[in-house]
Amino acid sequence: MKKSYRVGIVGATGAVGTRMREVLEERRFPVASLSLYATGKSAGKKLPWKGEELTVQEAAESAFGALDFVLFSAGAEISRQLSPHAAKAGAVVIDNSNGFRMEPGVPLVVPEVNGRRAFEHRGIIANPNCSTIQLVVALWPLHCRARIRRIVVSTYQSVSGTGLDAMDEMQAQSRARLAGGPEPVPRVYPHPIAFNCLPQVDLFDAAGNSLEEMKMINETRKIFEEPVLSVTATCVRVPVLISHSEAVNVEFEEPLSPDEARTILAAAPGVVVQDDPAAGVYPLARTAEGTDDVFVGRIRRDTSCERALNLWIVSDNLRKGAATNAIQIAETLIENAK
């Protein structure tokens, strides 16, 4: 059995790729060697790793022959093109894009919910959407107790979900607006994001649903193994740098009080309950930033529905919503191989 593993990161220069390096080191993942990959102009850059500098290589079909794990965070097109080659070369691919999530033979894994599914992989494991991950981590223990009948979720998603260019755009627009000068023309989003809310996360389909909304619906059903579970979502981009927030209404088949929900969630892996609104205690995007937990608060009964609760769920989308979840999947595989 291996005691250390050869790891590659594709998309190493991006926001999630950067967090992947950080999380690997923080969690002391047994890395024998780390290879960094990117496409186009980013190849050749040097990035820090454990006090050294590693040169970013150009991602190519033949680049993965000596690796045990390859973490992809370079978009669906690159993942579809290169992931099968990495898997064929013998690596386990953990893909952060939308490229394989709904493929029937590809496990879609959140370790706190369905970690056992990771062992069913045939070379590729899909990392769910960031908004889906925090939702299912919080709702799964409640589902196990009282069975969820319907989920209504509205998201407040940070610009880092779109990447570094979006973070730069929001900050540039904010500086210009505060200085009273002309704002830069939006290039990442269709409208200015600074001091604004955009009810559009990704493209719309013919029915008016965004791709992000459909991801949340379909991925939650797949992870819960409930193909007809009633889920509806409205996804909104807000002028926050890091961490996604969600207002969630959940209807259950069985009675569940707010106090019991708090007790269940306080004992659930990966969940932190912050719920004393009168004292100003509830999850915040700024305090979630840089952490790996899913924070839940504002747990209260829905006054319009006897068996429904309202919750406020917050998590760092770059870490638990992407990098950390991917590395936890790898940890699940190696822990259970011992």
Instruction: Determine phi and psi for 65, rounding to 5 degrees.
Output: -65, -25
Question: Which residue, 104, 154, 94, 103, is CA-closest to 322?
Answer: 94
Instruction: Determine phi and psi for 154, rounding to 5 degrees.
Output: -120, 125
Distances (CA, A) of 194 to 171, 241, 255, 267: 7, 11, 42, 38
Quote the CA–CA distance of 314 and 240 in Å, as a whole number. 12
Quote the CA–CA distance of 164 and 15 in Å, as a whole number. 6
Quote the CA–CA distance of 326 and 36 in Å, as a whole number. 16
Q: Is 130 a catalytic residue?
A: yes
β-strand pairing of 124-126 with 244-252: unpaired
Q: Is 305 a catalytic residue?
A: no
Q: Which residues contact 305 (CB under 8 A, 6 or more apart)?
A: 251
Instruction: Determine phi and psi for 18, rounding to 5 degrees.
Output: -60, -45
In the set 121, 130, 143, 235, the catalytic residue is 130
Quote the CA–CA distance of 282 and 32 in Å, as a whole number. 40
E strands, 101-243, are 124-126, 148-157, 230-237
In the set 85, 121, 143, 244, the catalytic residue is 244
* Type of residue at 309: L
* 174-175-178-179 Cα dihedral, nearest 10 degrees: -150
- Where in the sequence numbering do the catalytic residues fall? 130, 244
